[in-house]
Structure 1
């Protein structure tokens, strides 16, 4: 069985189409089609079926993805056997939400890349509720996200750190105009979010609904940075992890508005498949990730991966 064909199948799962996989792998689309057909003949299984104009995975194809990921992980482990971290090779596919990727993971990723420059990191931004499914079906190796609960028995879940949530407004706004400590009111203010399906927006929506508080205006902007700038411009208020807005709080561009649920937190976790091949590369990444999130003194762990 050709390892290249297995890599092609995984690329199709990651990118969503034969053409996108071909572009990623620098193949002609005909090469991708040939490799898939060859793999189907060897396995005596139909891995794809045509739905409309698209080729989609059959159930057999979906079921095989975790096994294929394990095979490729084993190959990576063999290549990395006995090597120092700096000589590691292979791919690591990580699914992570915008807030963590943009505002927490950058120093760690920079340090990891410096320590293992030959490792190809593939970062996929995704909603926290979608990440466990991507891990389960083998389209990513590990998810780093906020705990959403209800994980299947095939996933390993590790706690990283708790992060407080805050309601923020422009430093120009009179805080008395948005008083969420009083129930049964309709606020004359816009509520701004980057994703109405995010866990923090769902938490906030449930909290104000319980207290019969409503916002007549709602803005959904698909970028956390754009949300922050909109709040700074006094277009409305937003409920976000505090670390996302800490620099603007420090400068006075934003302010925290008191609420009746001021101690709400989110727990960051990592998840991976229970039967995943534990290569030295994967183990090093997980250990360094845990250290990065728990190190409050900005020190370096034993592998040299610094994190601020």
Structure 2
């Protein structure tokens, strides 16, 4: 059993197919088949059920795939830690909600890059649920997510405190359809649940939902009068949105949304990750909501 064999087991378990695993590993299918057969002979068990359409791991195969995932993650962490210790910078992959990436991260990233220019830093935007999955799988080193997180394999530290507001076009909504249309990310977004609760509490029912995959698309459609959304006030008070959007306050039970930085409890804390977390903790916005800066505020009632 070697790392190449573990990569094959994980790829087949993840994709359910020899052909797709071969594509993932950039090798020919015969190599994948041969590796699986060699491992099965070495361990004396069948690792996969061969079916007419693909392959599914046996109970023994699921156990090995789980160990393969952990071993390969540790190997990647070890390589980054060694590169970090040798002064070669290493790699750092951070996930973030789109609103956090747009508003909170730019000054933090600028400072981190200035102090650590050799670190290969990647930012992966996404909704909270997806980011948690990516952190747990070890595909990213940590992520900024919204709302409470309680998982035995994760460390979650509060970093920002956002005030959520109901966002409408600055010119107002001229149709009942617009008042009853919620524009937002998919359900895996932390803000989506608060947004639907806000619509119900405001009596805007029944309502319909239009889903978009980008922050700019959501705010652009709201500015055009197509509907409303729920976002951090720090987002809509920035240019260019402050000229086209206005906001209404939400009830206290819905308005406060902490942003947490989560990472695996068993992950290696490299010097690069420590430096990044230091840059986050030293930023003025950490743990403090942004002050009101003049964006038009609508009447309190939703």
TM-score range, shorter chain: 0.7 to 0.9
1:78 is aligned to 82
In structure 1, what is the Cα distance between the partners aligned to 2:54 and 2:111? 40
1:183 is aligned to none
In structure 1, what is the Cα distance between the partners aligned to 2:243 and 2:217? 18
1:288 is aligned to 279
* Secondary structure in structure 2 of the residue aligned to 1:294: coil
2:116 is aligned to 116
2:70 is aligned to 66
TM-score (norm 1): 0.71
Deviation, structure 1 residue 159 = 1.1
2:291 is aligned to none
Deviation, structure 1 residue 218 = 2.9
1:5-31, CA deviations, whole angstroms, 9 ceiling, x for partnerless residues?
Answer: 778888999999535644xxxx44569
1:214-261, CA deviations, whole angstroms, 9 ceiling, x for partnerless residues?
Answer: 154432222221111111111111111122211258743111124445
Does the alignment pair 1:168 with 2:175? no
1:29-70, CA deviations, whole angstroms, 9 ceiling, x for partnerless residues?
Answer: 569848965995798487776677556775221344234322
C-alpha contact (below 8 Å) 1:66/1:136 kept by paired residues: no
Does the alignment pair 1:272 with 2:276? no
Change (3 A) 1:295 1:161: closer
Deviation, structure 1 residue 4 = 7.0
* Secondary structure in structure 2 of the residue aligned to 1:192: strand
1:87-138, CA deviations, whole angstroms, 9 ceiling, x for partnerless residues?
Answer: 312x323232222223332343344344434433343333212332332232
1:233 is aligned to 224
Change (3 A) 1:208 1:247: same
1:133-176, CA deviations, whole angstroms, 9 ceiling, x for partnerless residues?
Answer: 33223232212211333x2222111111101111111111169x
2:192 is aligned to 201
Cα RMSD (Å): 4.0
In structure 2, what is the Cα distance between the partners aligned to 1:123 and 1:56? 33
In structure 1, what is the Cα distance between the partners aligned to 2:34 and 2:80? 21
2:21 to 8, 18, 21: 18
In structure 1, what is the Cα distance between the partners aligned to 2:9 and 2:50? 16
Q: Which residues of structure 1 form unaligned runs of 5+? A: 179-185, 297-308
In structure 2, what is the Cα distance between the partners aligned to 1:35 and 1:101? 44
TM-score (norm 2): 0.72
C-alpha contact (below 8 Å) 2:154/2:263 kept by paired residues: yes
Aligned ranges for residues 4-153 of structure 1 at < 5 Å?
Answer: 18=21, 21-22=24-25, 27-29=26-28, 33=32, 37=36, 40=39, 44=43, 53=53, 58-60=61-63, 61-81=65-85, 83=87, 87-89=88-90, 91-149=91-149, 151-153=150-152
Change (3 A) 1:116 1:195: same
